[in-house]
A and B are shown apart, each in its own frame.
Chain A
Amino acid sequence: DQQVKQNSPSLSVQEGRISILNCDYTNSMFDYFLWYKKYPAEGPTFLISISSIKDKNEDGRFTVFLNKSAKHLSLHIVPSQPGDSAVYFCAASGSGGSNYKLTFGKGTLLTVNP
């Protein structure tokens, strides 16, 4: 049973536009959510996170929104740049905040076209 779902395997946007990547989760015990970016031949790198006590967290061009009632989060990238082209993984942890294990989605391949 997949607890973290990224239903769009791929997304293509134009440079300068907004990229919106979506993630849904089913486990109500998750209380911390992260986004990772992965380039080919490299390991995933941490991008941004959000605790369940917040509904928004911003870091430069990246903003994560959390809707707990819908068990949904999204990553907004504005403006999108060609260097943002990568696979983006959504991840979640929980069970009291000291679980320290991450459950990952399958990833979304973002392509930003010049």
Chain B
Amino acid sequence: DADVTQTPRNRITKTGKRIMLECSQTKGHDRMYWYRQDPGLGLRLIYYSFDVKDINKGEISDGYSVSRQAQAKFSLSLESAIPNQTALYFCATGQGKDTQYFGPGTRLTVL
């Protein structure tokens, strides 16, 4: 079984809809992250959490919110999706040194 899972893997939605992307991990790591990947732009950090009570904004948090429901679960929400939020979204976990471990990604399309 995968250590970091993301649901859904693919989602098509319409402008203005609320969307939640979910991430679960079985690695027992304290730190969890949400990134988005756009063609030619690499990976950019949206939000990160060092434990259940600690949530921090990344470099591109506008238009997104997160919830750390438990050590193993970290959800990303788009309250009102817009087309420029069409991207690949990755969840990652980390502990100890700075190495992070990524989930398989969610491909989100906003029409």
Contacts and interface: CB of A to CB of B under 8 A. Distances in A.
Asked if A and B bind, the verdict is yes
Interface of A: 6, 9, 32, 34, 36, 41-46, 49, 89, 91, 93, 99-102, 104-107
A100 B101 contact: no
17 contacts: A9-B40, A32-B97, A32-B98, A44-B43, A45-B102, A46-B101, A49-B98, A91-B43, A93-B98, A99-B98, A100-B31, A100-B98, A101-B48, A102-B43, A102-B100, A104-B42, A106-B40
B41 interface: yes
Contacts, number: 53
B64 interface: no
B102 A43 contact: yes
Task: Give the interface SS of chain B, mostly helix, strand, loop or mixed.
Answer: strand
Interface of B: 4, 31, 40-45, 48, 50, 58, 90, 92, 94, 97-105
A49 B99 contact: yes
B105 A42 contact: yes
Contacts of B50: 100
A106 B41 CA distance: 5
Given A42-B104, A43-B4, A102 B42 contact: no
Contact of A44 (B40, B41, B58, B102): B102
A71 to B, nearest CB: 18
A9 B99 CA distance: 24
Nearest to A44: B102
A42 B103 CA distance: 8
